[in-house]
Structure 1
Amino acid sequence: MSNLVTVPKNGSLTNTTSNVNFPLWSNWIDDLFNRDLPSVFTSNFNTGITLPKVNIKETADAFMVEMAVPGLKKSDFHIDLDNQVLSISTETKEDKEEKNSNYTRREFGYASFKRSFTLPETVDDDKINANYTDGILSILLPKKEEAKQKPARNIKIS
Structure 2
Amino acid sequence: MARGSSPFEEVERLFDRMGEMNRGSGLAVDLEDTGDAFVLTADLPGFDREDIDVELREGSLRISASRDESASHEDESYIHRERTKRSINRSVSLPEPVDKEETTATFKNGVLTVQLPKSRASEDATSIDIE
TM over 0.5, shorter chain:
yes
- Residue 128 of structure 1 corresponds to 103
Query: Which residues in structure 2 correspond to 1:5-154 (within 5 Å)?
Result: 38-44=15-21, 49-95=24-70, 96-98=73-75, 104-105=76-77, 109-144=84-119
Aligned-residue sequence identity (percent) comes to 28
Please tell me the residue identity of whatever aligns with 1:39: D
What RMSD, in angstroms, separates the aligned Cα atoms of the two structures? 2.8
Unaligned runs of at least 5 residues, structure 2: 1-11, 121-131
Number of residue pairs the alignment of both structures matches:
104
- Aligned residues of 2:97 and 2:118 also touching (Cα < 8 A): yes
Counterparts of 1:82 and 1:49 in 2: how far apart (Å)? Answer: 25
- Aligned residues of 1:97 and 1:105 also touching (Cα < 8 A): no
TM score, norm. by length of structure 1 = 0.55
Detail structure 1 runs of 4+ shifted over 3 Å in the superposition.
Answer: 42-45, 104-108
Structure 1 residues 61-114: Cα deviation after superposition (integer angstroms, max 9, x where no partner): 10100112222211110111222221101111011223xxxxx44667011111
TM score, norm. by length of structure 2 = 0.65
Counterparts of 1:124 and 1:39 in 2: how far apart (Å)? Answer: 42
Counterparts of 2:24 and 2:95 in 1: how far apart (Å)? Answer: 30
Structure with the greater relative contact order (CA < 8 A, sep ≥ 6): 1 or 2? 2
Larger Rg: 1
Unaligned runs of at least 5 residues, structure 1: 1-34, 99-103, 146-158
> Hey, which of these two has a bigger chunk of helix by percent?
2
- Residue 8 of structure 2 corresponds to none
